[in-house]
Amino acid sequence: MTNLNLSRRDFSKLMGLSAGYAALGLPEAKASWLPAASSSIATVVRLSSNENPYGPSPAALKAMTDGFSLAWRYPDEHADLLADELARLHSVSVDQVILGDGSGEILKLCAAAFTNRDKKIVVANPTFEAISRHAGVAGAEVVKIDLTPDYSHDLKKMIAAANVAGLIYICNPNNPTASLTSRTEMADFLAKVSPATIVLVDEAYHHYVESKDYESVIPLVRQYPNLIVIRTFSKIYGMAGLRCGYGITQRANIGMLKAHQIWDSVNIMALVAARASLKDPDHIARGRKLNNEVKKSVCAELDALGYRYIPSHANFIMIDLRREVRPIIDALRTRGV
């Protein structure tokens, strides 16, 4: 960051022209728990996948250092312990938890288990595209339903399009719009959707939300056998490079997902770091606070510059740049962003 030779104001203007913004807070917010930049790769501001530049909890870093000596062993016990801890965190039984090599692996497993030539997938437009790609490989039809004018999922249209589809994917908050689908809409939708349709709710950005209109649907897994909820350690936990995510659903679905999964897909470093992270909830609170402070400051700059953007409930913002994006990406790249 320091070699960018930009003032805070210059940098915030620069970031105001991009979708990522969180690194803006780093020069002032750079805290003792941040790992030192160890290579030129670390000096590039890279936020295009909504990474968390504040990094993992110091407890996770220590757990990984201590974990080197475990590298010769398969990770079974640590996977079991993490699944157990997640089950307790979410008040479900351990056989309702599936770990993944990032939540991306679980998206792939869902596509493999619940979509095919006869079972389509219904997704929002736009939304995180990974599962549509996987479902496409499985030969499934991908039906895209535009977000509503206020950028929530159009759940009524999604149900109508599903017509007992294989799977409906809801990303909440949604990537790339950072918008919410409200808890009342979600509850109403789950009560109406056919039990034969799998509903996959992706809560990758859950921890960033402060709105009272939002609620996780994990507690509803008990009530709805067709509901699968996924979370990740890649965002607020700052562990994108480690690859660890998980899903919560009823036992029968876990069996169907695991049938497609390789054994030991989550590595020992990710497991020990994830376990340590769960024991450091302050890291989450601190990350949310820093993110929301920076978000406010970026939005103030955008307002001052007259740019329109979608109010963000995550760690990224979708901005109307009023021009071609490619030259802006190139300009950012020359500045190490």
Ligand X SMILES: Cc1ncc(COP(=O)(O)O)c(C=O)c1O
Binding region for ligand X (CB under 6 A): 49-50, 102-104, 128, 171, 175, 202, 204, 232, 234, 240, 245
Q: Please say whether the beta carbons of 253 and 198 come within 8 A.
A: yes
Q: Which is nearer to ligand X, 49 or 223 (CB)?
A: 49
Full DSSP string of 111-136: HHHH-BTTB-EEEEESS--HHHHHHH
User: What is the spatial distance between Cα 329 and Cα 300, in angstroms, rounded to a whole number?
Assistant: 22
- Nearest distance in Å: CB 172, ligand X: 9
The one-letter amino acid at 244: C
- Nearest distance in Å: CB 110, ligand X: 11
Q: Which is nearer to ligand X, 175 or 216 (CB)?
A: 175
For residue 305, the cross-strand partners are: none
What DSSP character marks residue 143?
E
Q: Which is nearer to ligand X, 6 or 227 (CB)?
A: 227
CA R_g for the chain: 20
- Nearest distance in Å: CB 28, ligand X: 26
- Nearest distance in Å: CB 100, ligand X: 7
Can you say how many angstroms the Cα of residue 150 is from the centroid of all Cα atoms in its chain?
21
Structure tokens at 300: 């103030």
Q: How many residues does the chain have?
A: 337
Q: Which is nearer to ligand X, 232 or 291 (CB)?
A: 232
Close Cβ partners of 255 (under 8 Å, ≥ 6 residues apart)? none
- Nearest distance in Å: CB 123, ligand X: 11
Structure tokens at 271: 């497991």
- Nearest distance in Å: CB 213, ligand X: 19
- Nearest distance in Å: CB 50, ligand X: 5
Give the nearest residue (CB) to ligand X.
102
Q: Which is nearer to ligand X, 175 or 267 (CB)?
A: 175
Q: Is the dihedral of CA 95, 100, 105, 107 positive or negative?
A: positive
Q: Which is nearer to ligand X, 201 or 290 (CB)?
A: 201
Q: Please say whether the beta carbons of 334 and 60 come within 8 A.
A: no
- Nearest distance in Å: CB 308, ligand X: 23
Q: Which is nearer to ligand X, 202 or 301 (CB)?
A: 202
DSSP H stretches of helix in the chain: 8-16, 26-29, 40-43, 58-67, 76-90, 103-114, 130-137, 155-162, 183-192, 251-258, 268-278, 281-305, 326-334
Q: Which is nearer to ligand X, 26 or 239 (CB)?
A: 239
